[in-house]
Structures are given as C-alpha cells and as structure tokens.
C-alpha cells in the first residue's frame, strides 16, 4: 500500500487559546492581559489586543464566545473556533478551566472527563501499562490528539502513530498540548488495519490501541486485526487496548464487547493479563517462546 506520512506543523501561528481565557479577559472591569502559549492577550475596550512575535494586532472577540471552546487567531481576520467539518465534525473542547482540551467528534468526548479525570490523566493511566522506556518502539494505532503517544515519548520511547481522519489531524495542529507530536518517528495517515498488515513482524515493543467505539470501527476489534497486532509485536511485547465499559450492565462481567475483546485476543495468541479499572483497558502480552 502507499504510505502517507503527515508532516505535523505545530508552529506558534497555529496555536489556540481556550475560550475561558478570553472570557476572563473580556469579563474583567479593567484592561487585563493574560499570557497563553506564544502570545499575550489583552482587553482594549471592546477588542482584544494580541501581542505575538510578529507584532501587535487588535481583533474583535469571537461571536457568541463559548468558554468551553478553543479559538485560534488569524492575523487581520480575528478569532475562529478550532473546529473542522468534513466527513466528521471535530473540535477542541475544555472539560473544565485549566485542563487540557479533549477532542469532540460528532459531539462525543474522546477522553474521560468525568469528575476527577482529565485528558492527560486519562492518557497517563493507559501508558503506564505499556511499560514504555528509553529506546523502545511503540505503535499507537489511533492518534487522536496524541496524548498517549506524547506520554510514551516522555518515557523515552520512539512512537509511530496512525490517524485516519484529516479533520482530527487539523484540530491537533491547533492544540498546544499536541505540539510534541512533531517529535514522533512518523505520523501515518490512513486506517490502522491497512497499515499494520503491511508492517514487518516482531518490530514493536508495545502497542497502544485506543480505537473508536465498536459500532463505528468494528474491524479494529476483529480477530484478524488482533492477529496482525500480535505479529508486529516482539515476544514479551505489551498491548494496551482501551475499551471503556460499553454495555457493562448487560450479562456478566463488563459486558459482551469487553468479553469479546478478551476472547479474541486470546484466540490471536495473546496472554491476557486482565482488565485494568483505572485505564478502562484490557492489557495483554505476546508470550516469549
């Protein structure tokens, strides 16, 4: 198959600011400045002054400003929301003030944002089970905003990540928390199932598999795909498969989807270590012969 490598561009001109920062500036009774990312934002009457490396601009605030939304500044045009409409509708969303943004796809959160959780804590909970370390090579099958890939890189791992959606890639480039994706070994554009079956055997030390829900991408939960993940892992390599807890109330255990994942992973040759509650993930290992 044709390999398409995405040249991730996290340049400061693409960075964004959360709506709650702009709301605080506009809501103050006096001129106030806030530094965020590569720029300083100040209230100047009814406008917002943006001070950045190329100079100073004034812009009208976003129309119908939403504190939970994120906005990027376009010189000479003002603020625009970080959202992309195409095959899907993707946008950045603040679960709460001060937290890293989550990705919303067609209105669905791609990270855990319930009380006590935020997207970065969610990523850390998954990555710790990878046992990624300096020099290890990790495959991240479904990049999203790249938080798990970045967390693995911070542990010293080299990461190859895959993302099927160009809308998601465009949103990630505007997210300051995703900027380190530029340090990945490669960002591949396309379906993980197509790429993995053309990869060399026994090359990765760990695989992070965080697919969309089963109803959206059932092929990424299939026995044939799990066999390919098993093949590309080195003996002793780990798989962390995020499942959440869909249909937990149906039948025994954590529901039929999680049970099916466990059964198919075992059929593919994995030794399943169990379900990790803090990561909402099934953890498995490729046995050493």
- pLDDT value at residue 91: 96
Q: Label residue 284 by pLDDT band (50, 70, 90).
A: very high
Q: HSE, CB side, 13 Å, CA atoms: give it for residue 164.
A: 16
Residue (of 239, 233, 210) closest to 288 by Cα position:
233
**Which residue's entry shows tokens 């319930």?**
114
Mean pLDDT on 11-33: 82
Look-up: residue for tokens 């100047």? 44
Coil, strand or helix at 141? coil
Distance CA 70, CA 79 (A): 10
Which strands, in side-by-side order, build the sheet including 89-93?
A: 83-85, 89-93, 102-105, 108-109
Closest CA to 130 of 152, 112, 147: 152
Q: The tokens of 279 are what?
A: 């990561």
Using one digit for the tens of pLDDT, what is the confidence trace for 88-136?
999 999 999 889 999 999 998 999 888 789 999 999 999 999 999 999 9
Residue with tokens 């806030």: 34
pLDDT over 70, % of the chain: 96
The residue-averaged pLDDT of 250-271 equals 86
Among the ranges given (53-62, 95-104, 217-226, 263-272), the one the predictor scored with the smallest mean pLDDT: 53-62
User: How much is the pLDDT for 43?
Assistant: 87
Q: Are 255 and 245 in contact (CB under 8 A)?
A: yes
User: 135: helix, coil or strand?
Assistant: coil
CA triplet 156, 230, 160: central angle to 5 degrees? 35
Are 212 and 142 contacting, i.e. CB atoms less than 8 angstroms apart? yes
pLDDT band at 225 (very low <50, low <70, confident <90, very high): very high
- For 76, the token pair is 């000479």
Distances (CA, A) of 283 to 9, 67, 77: 33, 37, 48
pLDDT value, residue 250: 54
pLDDT value at position 50? 87
Computed on alpha carbons and rounded to an integer, the radius of gyration of the chain in Å comes to: 21
* Residue 58 near residue 47, CB atoms below 8 Å: yes
What domains, with CATH codes, occur in the chain?
Answer: 12-81 (no CATH), 119-285 (3.40.50.150)
Please tell me the distance from the alpha carbon of residue 194 to that of residue 130, in angstroms, as a whole number: 23
Is residue 239 within 8 A of residue 265, CB to CB? The reply is yes
Tell me, what DSSP letter sits at residue 200?
P
Question: In the predicted model, what is the mean pLDDT of residues 36-61?
Answer: 83
Among 149, 172, 165, residue whose Cα is nearest residue 240: 149
Is the pLDDT confidence value at 237 over 70? Answer: yes
Residue 12, pLDDT above cutoff 80: no
Query: pLDDT-based confidence at 246, cuts 50/70/90?
Result: low
Is the confidence at residue 270, as pLDDT, over 70? yes
pLDDT attached to residue 253 = 52
| Confidence band, pLDDT 50/70/90 cuts, at residue 279 | very high
| Per-residue pLDDT tens digits for 170-208 | 999 999 999 999 999 999 999 999 999 999 999 999 999
pLDDT of residue 32: 77
Percent of the chain topping pLDDT 90: 68
């Amino acid at each position: 198959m044709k390999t398409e490598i995405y040249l991730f561009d996290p340049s400061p001109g693409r960075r964004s600011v959360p709506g709650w920062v702009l709301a605080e500036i506009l809501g103050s009774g006096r001129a106030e400045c806030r530094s965020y990312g590569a720029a300083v934002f100040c209230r100047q009457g009814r406008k917002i002054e943006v001070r950045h490396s190329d100079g100073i601009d004034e812009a009208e605030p976003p129309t119908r400003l939403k504190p939970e939304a994120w906005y990027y500044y376009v010189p000479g045009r003002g603020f625009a929301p970080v959202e992309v409409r195409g095959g899907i509708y993707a946008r950045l969303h603040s679960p709460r003030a001060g937290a890293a943004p989550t990705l919303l796809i067609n209105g669905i959160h791609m990270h855990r944002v319930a009380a006590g959780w935020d997207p970065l804590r969610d990523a850390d909970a998954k990555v710790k089970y990878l046992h990624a370390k300096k020099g290890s090579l990790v495959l991240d099958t479904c990049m999203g905003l790249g938080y798990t890939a970045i967390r693995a890189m911070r542990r010293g791992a080299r990461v190859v990540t895959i993302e099927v959606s160009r809308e998601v890639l465009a949103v990630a480039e505007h997210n300051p928390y995703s900027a380190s994706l530029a340090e990945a070994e490669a960002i591949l554009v396309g379906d993980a199932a197509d790429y993995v079956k053309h990869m060399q055997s026994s090359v990765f030390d760990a695989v992070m598999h965080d697919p969309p829900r089963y109803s959206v991408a059932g092929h990424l939960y299939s026995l044939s795909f799990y066999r390919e993940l098993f093949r590309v892992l080195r003996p002793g390599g780990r798989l962390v498969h995020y499942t959440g807890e869909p249909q937990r109330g149906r039948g025994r255990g954590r529901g039929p989807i999680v049970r099916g994942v466990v059964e198919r992973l075992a059929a593919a040759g994995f030794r399943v270590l169990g379900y990790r509650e803090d990561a909402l993930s099934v953890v498995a290992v490729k046995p050493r012969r």
